[in-house]
Amino acid sequence: MIWRCDLVPQYEAYKPEIDAAIQQVLMSGRYVLAENVAAFEQEFSDYVGVKHSVGVNSGTDALMMPLWMCGIERGDEVITTPFTAIPTFSAIRHIGAKPIFLDLEPDTFLMNLDQLKSKITERTKAIVPVHLFGNAVDVEQIRDIVGKDMFIVEDCAQSHGAKVRGKMTGSMGNFAAFSFYPTKNLGAYGDGGLVATNDKDAADLMKKRRMYGMISKDEFVTDGINTRLDELQAAILRVKLRHLDAMNKRRQELAAIYADLLPKEHIKPQAVREGMESVWHVYSATVSGRRDELLQFLESRNIQANVYYPMPTTKQKGYIAAFGEGAPALPVTEHLSKHIIALPFYPEMDVKIMETVAKAIREFYGV
C-alpha cells in the first residue's frame, strides 16, 4: 500500500536521537513542564524569529489561547478562511466569536485578500490567516490593509518553516498558532501545540493560564485551563526541529519532481506566489475532472489519496447552526472542494513511489 503520509520512515531516519531523548525524559522522572518544554520553547522561538513561545496541549488550544488574549467577547467577529481544517473554525466558535469568511484565490487555495477590507466592521477584532498546505499567506499585506491596531493571529499548523519574503510564518502577526500533530512538517508522537509571540506580558499570562492560572501549587492568580505540552513530546520535537530545514528542503525537491512527472493538463498543484516559500505540508492539486472516480481508481491500485477539504465549513452539519440562513456564498471554495486532491507525499518518500503514482494518474486520464 502506498500511503498518503507514512510516518514510519521518519522515525527510522532519526531513531537513535529520538530514542535517546525519550529515554532521558523517562529517566528524569519529570514529565510535565520541565526542562525539555522550556528548552523547546526557546529553540522554537529562535527558529521562528520571535521572542516568546508557549507550549500547549494542541494546535486548537494554540489558536484559542491567543484569541482569548485578544479580549474577544461573544458576538465579536473574526475574519478567516472557510477552507481549512475544522479546528480553525472551532477555536473561533469556542471563544464565542462569529467567523467571517473570505472566499479563496482559485490557484493558491489561500484566502482572497482583495475581499478583506470589505469584510471589516466595527465588530471585527482579529484576522486569522491560514498558511494552508505549507503555502504562505501574505501577512504583511494583511497588516497594510487592517492597520496596526487589528489583531492578527497566524494559523501556522501547516507551515513550519514557510516564509513570506524571507520572514518566517509565525513571526509577523501579534500571535501565531502551531500544531505538532504527528503528520505535520514538525510532528510529535501525539498531540501538541505552541503559541509564538513577541508580547512578553501575553506570553507570561498564557503560561499561567495553561495551568489553571497557577504560579505555585497553592496560588492561582488568574482564570485558566489545563493545556500543557508534555515533556516527552517536547523532547521528540527538539530532535526533529534540528532536522526540520532538511526535511522541508526535501519536500520542496519532491514537489518539483511531482510537477515534472504528473500530467500538467490534468493535475495543477497549488500555486506559490512570488516572494512566498512553501514547505509543501501536503501535495495538494486540482484535477481537470472526475475527481471521485480518480480516487477510486487510485485506491484500486493500492494508492491512498485524500481530499482536503471535501466541503466548506459553512456546510458541515455540526457547525451549520452558526450560520443558519446567513451562510455566505463561497463559489471558489465550493468549486475547489469538488476538484481538489492530495497525493502521497512525505519527505522520506522514494521517487519510485512518485513515479508509480504518476503512472497510475496518466493511465486514468489516458495520457
Residue 212 above 70 pLDDT? yes
Residue 218 above 90 pLDDT? no
Say if residue 213 is in the same domain as residue 265.
no
Using one digit for the tens of pLDDT, what is the confidence trace for 130-174?
999 999 999 999 999 999 999 999 999 999 999 999 999 999 999
Say if residue 119 is in the same domain as residue 253.
no
CATH of the domain at 360: 3.90.1150.10
Say if residue 197 is in the same domain as residue 159.
yes
Confidence category of residue 324, pLDDT binned at 50, 70, 90: low
Say if residue 299 is in the same domain as residue 161.
no
Using one digit for the tens of pLDDT, what is the confidence trace for 39-81?
999 999 999 999 999 999 999 999 999 999 999 988 899 999 9
CATH of the domain at 72: 3.40.640.10
pLDDT for res 325: 63
Say if residue 275 is in the same domain as residue 303.
yes
Domain-located, residue 75: yes
Domain-located, residue 2: no
Q: How many CA atoms lie within 13 A of 96 on its CB side?
A: 9
Confidence category of residue 216, pLDDT binned at 50, 70, 90: confident
- Say how many domains are in the chain: 2
Domain boundary among 190, 207, 241: 241
Residue 343: phi and psi, rounded to 5, are -95, 160
Backbone angle region of 74, left / alpha / beta, with phi > 0 → left and psi within -120 to 50 → alpha: beta
Average pLDDT, the chain: 96
Please compute the mean of the pLDDT values over residues 176-190 and round it to a whole number: 98
Say if residue 21 is in the same domain as residue 149.
yes
Please compute the mean of the pLDDT values over residues 275-282 and round it to a whole number: 98
Provide the 3-class DSSP secondary structure of residue 285: strand
Please compute the mean of the pLDDT values over residues 89-96 and round it to a whole number: 92
> What is the percent of the chain where pLDDT is above 90?
91
Domain boundary among 211, 241, 271: 241
Say if residue 120 is in the same domain as residue 174.
yes
Say if residue 218 is in the same domain as residue 303.
no
Name the residue range of residue 327's domain. Answer: 244-365
Give rounded-to-5 percent helix, strand, coil for the chain: 40, 20, 40
Say if residue 219 is in the same domain as residue 254.
no
Say if residue 39 is in the same domain as residue 114.
yes
Which residues lie below 8 Å from residue 125, measured CB to CB, with a gap of 6+? 70, 71, 72, 76, 77, 78, 97, 150, 151
Strand ranges of the sheet holding 193-197, from the earlier edge strand across to the other edge = 52-56, 193-197, 175-179, 151-155, 124-127, 77-80, 98-101
Q: Residue 11 corresponds to which cell in the numbers above?
A: 522515525
Residue 323 above 80 pLDDT? no
Residue 320 above 90 pLDDT? no
Confidence category of residue 315, pLDDT binned at 50, 70, 90: confident
Domain-located, residue 54: yes
Confidence category of residue 86, pLDDT binned at 50, 70, 90: very high
